[in-house]
Amino acid sequence: MNIVLKILLIIIFFVIVIALALPSILNFAGLHPKFDGETFNLQGKKALIIATNHGVLNKPGEIDGKSTGLFLSELSIPYYDFEKANIKVDIASIKGGKIPLEPVPFFIETTEDKRFKKDQETMNLLQNSIPIKDIDFTEYDIIFISGGWGAAYDLGFSELLGEKISNAYYSSQAIIGGVCHGVLGFIKAKNIDGDPLIAGRKMTGVTDKQLKELGIFFTPQHPEEELKKAGVIFQSGSAFRDVFATLTVVDDEKRFVTGQNQNSGHETAYRIMEILNSQ
The 10s digit of each residue's pLDDT in 217-250 is: 999 999 999 999 999 999 999 999 999 999 999 9
Give the span between the Cα atoms of 184 and 48, in whole angstroms: 16
pLDDT value for 253: 98
In a domain, 37, yes or no: no
Q: Beta partners for 129?
A: 97
Q: Kindly state whether residues 217 and 263 are assigned to the same domain.
A: yes
Per-residue confidence band for 19, with pLDDT thresholds at 50, 70 and 90: low
Q: Beta partners for 211?
A: none
Query: Which structural domain range is residue 22 located in?
Result: 1-30
- Say if residue 67 is in the same domain as residue 107: yes
Q: Compute the distance between CA of residue 81 and CA of residue 263 in angstroms, rounded to an integer.
A: 14
Query: Looking at the structure, do residues 91 and 26 belong to the same domain, yes or no?
Result: no
Read off the pLDDT of each residue in 153-175 and give the average, rounded to a whole number: 98
Q: Could you tell me the pTM of the whole model?
A: 0.94
**Per-residue model confidence (pLDDT) at position 29:** 80
Assess whether 243 and 179 both reside in one domain.
Answer: yes
- If asked whether residues 122 and 257 sit together in one domain, one would say yes
Split into its structural domains, the chain has a count of 2
Please give the pLDDT value at position 18: 64
Q: Which residue intervals of the chain are DSSP H helices?
A: 3-29, 73-84, 111-118, 120-127, 151-154, 159-171, 208-214, 223-229, 265-278
- Same-domain status, 158 and 51: yes
On whether both 19 and 108 belong to a single domain, the answer is no
pLDDT of residue 106: 86
Is residue 6 pLDDT above 70, yes or no?
A: no
